[in-house]
Chain A
Amino acid sequence: MSDTALATAATAAELEPVGEDSPRGAAVLRELLRKPRFVLSALAILVIALMAAFPRLFTATDPTVCDLKLSKGAPSAAHWFGYDIQGCDYYANVIYGARPSVLVSVSVCVVGFAVACVLGMLAGYFPGFVDSLVSRTADVLFALPGLVAMIVILQAFSSRSVWTIAFVIVLLGWPAGMRLMRSTVLSVRTREYVLASRALGAGAQHILRVHILPNSVAPLLAMTTLTVGAAVGTEAALTFLGIGLQPPTISWGLQIAIAASYRDDVHLFLFPALLLTITVMAFMITGDTVRDALDPKLKR
């Protein structure tokens, strides 16, 4: 019995693209590219990422050149988005506002993935003390109401940057990913090829790296892509509530917060909100399609 299983696993590894637990890279990409939903949202992400990395590609105007006399000027041909309350060109400000959103989402995504992956693997592979420690810590963090806990923690920082916000989001966000990772590891660690490897005398480190990680990472990966969009939204929400980013940082959350108070100048609200919505949606749809591709079992 175990021989057959071992053989199947070996064949599966040789015969791409059909893996036993998850499909492999190239096939995933091919499948994704066939979907217009994915292509469109990925393009949107690309544009937003370019905006964050090289805002000068989109505007030659310095967003910090302001003249209070022009305060709240309406959109015109020369100034597409009009002027904000400070009399700064709003188009330039909205373009430059992409950076904090993208930085927060990318760092939350990368760090959050790494933390959840490592802790999930440890908890899943080493039952007993390690599992209890990690899982109970996660339970404690899970019990905290998310946004309220973030507000409390952020109050402790006298000045807040993109990194403090990313840190707080990761701090309170990793348990979800960790639990998912742990459960997949739990199911993988009893597979025959893992048992075989262990029987052949392989160490924990080897097994985790070679067998467990590649065969259990897909669900977490899919979930992480979904959380990127949520992180963008959380950053904007915290900033909107006045405990996120602070001026003079340029961010959509700040722009929306101010515009919500001065809601009679609709253009001030419309443009950052529109870009924020597009960004969150693009990340969400991408995440959704990626999850479908990575985790065929979830497909209807």
Chain B
Amino acid sequence: MARTRRIVKAATGTALAVLLAGCSGAGSGDGAGKDDGHSMAIATAAEVPYLNPSNDNGTTGIQIESALWAPLTRVDAKTGKLVNVVADSVTSKDAKTWTIKIKPGWKFTNGEKLTAKSFVDTWNYTAYAPHAFANNGAFQRVEGYEDLNPAKGKPKATTLSGLKVVDDLTFTVTLKGAFSPYPTTLSYLGVAALSAETLKDPDQFKHKPIGYGAYKLDGGWKAGQPVRLMRNKDYAGKDAPQADHITFRFFSNPETAYNEFLAGNVDYVAVPSSKIDSYKTDAPGKWSQAKAAAGINYLNLPVTLKPYTDTRVRRALSLALDRDSLAKLKPGNFPATSFTAPSVDGHRENTCSDCRLDVARAKKLLREAGGFPGKLRLFFASDNPGEQVYAEALGNMWRQKLGLKIQYVGKPGAEIGPLANAGKLDGIRIMGWGHDYPALEDYLTPMFASYGDVNTGRYRDAKVDRMLGEANAQVDQAQATRDYQAIEDRIAEQMPVLPLSHSRDVYLHAEGVEPLNAPFANVDPVRSTFAD
């Protein structure tokens, strides 16, 4: 069952993996649109092999696709309120059957009209297991999902029984159970629509995306080359960003991107960990910090393996960490004391009673549990100097405070994720998670549900699963929040992951380019504003 949905915002635990390069015309090495309007060059850390929002859950890809497509709904970064983009209305009487109306006048860049059928066809295609699309899991709440994704054997159906086209611009979605925050989940780009032409053979359109967003491809694109975008004149939305041309460039090493910024070739960049002492002097007056701390950095434990099966061991590991000192190793980080992100409604501080330094208690718990036999294996991305330093800092604390033997396992960052997804990590992994839609639920489900997308430690608690189901069905929002908080309290008793820090990412931006920086979402350089 392909349940992977949206991958970790900061899988390697560094500051936002997306490095942005903006350019207001002058100084950019990019020829695009020098004389007509504002242009930006956006550089990203990871190379994007193809562009398809239904089959992409990496931060970088989703960011580019968010310029090429548009979501049904969006959480306004400034107010935190849900606003409609492509959707005209999303309504339900019982939180189980939802009616989605889309606005008229939207069309794909190939001329096709965007209709209710576009969505239903795309969703059916994505939810069908043999297609192996990355955002398959986004539809696991829809009725009939199991028929398309059986645990064994061939799927019984090719379409979700819960999806029905009513008319050209209206369709209904029937969920397996009531789920009141459903409209918020529609802000995730993984549920955008593909054109009928694309759905006939998606492989043909991997490098020729047909969207309906504020931008479209400027010329051709081949994997590995920069992605050049130009304004889509037919964009039907009212929220088009200011930039007329955007170019995404790829830098595998975050420090290279940083140096490109200093050289003036790049106008927006996230500050890598290793530049924590220097960015203020390197780029005076050009650095800013995100207003939102929309994410959590934590350690993923292989809770099905000994000795991590013992809660006391997990709590001891957590109590031996000096989070204040650890947070100082990363730009904009501050210690975490709970399992959700501060930018999310319903977030509480201090829910994690073991997220503090108490060596005496840690030793006592470890002794009661019978110690830690063998070596503790700690995985880190060997191509990221900042993460190596971070891993050593963690290891030093456990080694010196609890007397554990540490084995550092360095692997290229791109290899660790697939290993973890295959359940082959026999040690601790440094991770980060940022929500797809701002909700407590989007931390609890992916990280702790037995079917959670980033629950690579294979934590499984029947009661958590059941409580999640009940909270999801709760129509009263205030009560739902209380239910989710109760789930977090139960998780805090078990410590399947060790929260480390939240971050308000630090970034550099060129003069005259102001990326969207608001309290309810991560910094978004695509939606930059220009001074002139």
A residues apposed to B, CB below 8 Å: 64-66, 68-69, 71-72, 85-86, 88, 158-159, 242-243, 246-248, 257-258, 260-265
* Residue of A65, A85, A258, A260 with most chain B CB atoms under a 10 A cut-off: A85
Q: Is B399 an interface residue (CB 8 A)?
A: yes
Q: Chain A residues with Cβ under 8 A from B410's Cβ? A: 242, 246-247
Q: Which residues of B contact A242 (CB under 8 A)?
A: 382-383, 410
Tell me whether A65 and B383 are in contact in the complex, defined as CB-CB below 8 angstroms, given that A86-B392, A248-B395, A261-B274 are known contacts. Answer: no
Closest residue on chain B to residue A265 by CB atoms = B277
**A-contacting residues, B324-339, CB 8 Å:** 325-326, 328-329
User: Does the CB pair B277–A262 fall under 8 Å?
Assistant: yes
Chain A residue with the shortest CB-CB distance to B272: A261
B392 lies within 8 A of A71 (CB): no
Q: Closest approach, in angstroms, between the C-beta of A261 and any C-beta of chain B?
A: 4
Given A242-B410, A265-B277, the answer on whether A68 and B325 have CB atoms closer than 8 Å is yes
Q: Does B169 touch A at the CB level, under 8 Å? A: no
Q: Which residues of B contact A86 (CB under 8 A)?
A: 389, 392-393, 396
B139 nearest CB across to chain A (Å): 38
Q: How far does the alpha carbon of A264 sit from the alpha carbon of B383 in the complex, in Å?
A: 20
Nearest CB of chain B from residue A100's CB, rounded to whole Å = 15
Q: In residues 376-413 of chain B, which contact A (Cβ within 8 Å)?
A: 382-383, 385-386, 388-389, 391-393, 395-397, 399-400, 406, 408-410
* Size of B's binding interface in residues, CB under 8 A: 28
- A68 and B326 within 8 A (CB): yes
Bound CA span A159–B427, Å: 15
- The answer to whether A261 touches B325 (Cβ under 8 A) is no
The reply on B488 being an interface residue by CB < 8 A is no
Which of these, A64, A158, A246, A264, contacts B277 with CB under 8 Å?
A264
Q: How far is the CB of A106 from chain B (nearest CB, A)?
A: 26
The answer, among A64, A72, A246, A257, for a CB contact under 8 Å with B385, is A257
Known: A69-B325, A242-B383, A264-B277. A247 touches B408 (CB 8 A): yes
Report whether B399 and A64 are in contact in the complex, using a CB–CB cutoff of 8 Å.
Answer: yes
Chain B, residues 217-250, CB within 8 Å of chain A (1/0): the string is 0000000000000000000000000000000000
CB neighbours (8 Å) of B393 from chain A are 68, 85-86
Which chain A residue has the least Cβ–Cβ distance from B325? A68
Contacting A at CB under 8 A, from B389-442, are: 389, 391-393, 395-397, 399-400, 406, 408-410
**Residues B382 and A65 in contact, CB atoms below 8 Å apart:** no
Compute how far the CA of A264 lies from the CA of B258 in the bound complex, rounded to whole angstroms: 14
Q: Which residues of A contact B274 (CB under 8 A)?
A: 261-262
Residues of B within 8 A of A88 (CB): 396
Closest to B406 in A: A248
Of chain A, the residue at the smallest CB distance from B274 is A261
Instruction: Check if B392 sits within 8 Å of A264, measured CB to CB.
Output: no
Are B408 and A258 in contact (CB-based, < 8 A)? no
Query: What B residues does A69 contact at CB under 8 A?
Result: 322, 325
**Chain A hits for B329, CB < 8 A:** 68, 71, 85
Measured between beta carbons, the chain B residues less than 8 angstroms from A159 are 409
For B393, B399, B406, B409, the residue with the greatest tally of chain A CB atoms inside 10 Å of its CB is: B393
A68 and B382 within 8 A (CB): no
Min Cβ gap A268→B in Å is: 11
Shortest Cβ distance from A237 into chain B, in angstroms?
16
- Distance of A72 Cα from B274 Cα, bound (Å): 12
Closest 8 CB pairs between A and B?
A261-B274, A68-B325, A261-B385, A264-B278, A66-B396, A264-B277, A247-B408, A242-B382
| In contact, A258 and B395 (Cβ under 8 angstroms) | no
Complex Cα distance, B397 from A68, in Å, reads: 9
Min Cβ gap B391→A in Å is 8
Smallest CB–CB gap between A63 and chain B, Å? 11
